Amino acid sequence: MTDDVEDVGRKAALSIFGDIIRRKRQSCRWTFHALSEKTGIEAAALSALEDGSDSVSDVEREKLCEFLGVHVDTFAKIVRQENAKANPPPQAVEDLQSSAVVDLARYREWQKTTSHPVD
């Protein structure tokens, strides 16, 4: 089950990372071909990366990050965040039973209409 969760987190991270790379490339007004020439990474691999595919090696990903000014640890951080979203920490049943769920808007309305004892 953990492998499935990690796959889901990695796929989501690849998609998010691909969007970051796409925005950086487009903000610089570079085509795939131009970025490929500057970084030495194939244009097809860059295109696949932007589409959320795991098409480049870790070394190429780091090289691309350095060239585009993206922090090198960005992809690793995104993977950790997405894995945490896909596999939230378990909560004890007692914690869930003891937590009170209150609709604050309705509670405040009720307070306005309820008479309080006068001392």
* Burial of 61 per CB tally in 10 Å (0-12, 13-18, 19+): buried
What is the average per-residue pLDDT within 66-70?
92
Q: 113: how many CB neighbours lie within 10 A of its CB?
A: 6
16: nearest Cα among 102, 70, 109, 82: 82
Rounded to the nearest 10 degrees, how much is the dihedral formed by the CA atoms of 66, 75, 17, 38? 20
Task: Band the pLDDT of 105: cuts 50, 70, 90.
Answer: confident
C-alpha span between 3 and 58 (Å, rounded):
20
What pLDDT shows up at residue 22?
A: 95
Across 29-38, 73-82, 102-111, which has the greatest mean pLDDT?
A: 29-38
Q: Over the stretch 10-66, which tens digit does the pLDDT of each residue have?
A: 888 999 999 999 999 999 999 999 999 999 999 999 999 999 988 899 899 999 999
The better pLDDT of the pair 118, 23 is held by 23
List the domains of the chain with CATH numbers: 2-88 (1.10.260.40)
What pLDDT shows up at residue 1?
A: 46
- CB-hemisphere CA count at 13 Å for 14? 18
What pLDDT shows up at residue 99?
A: 60
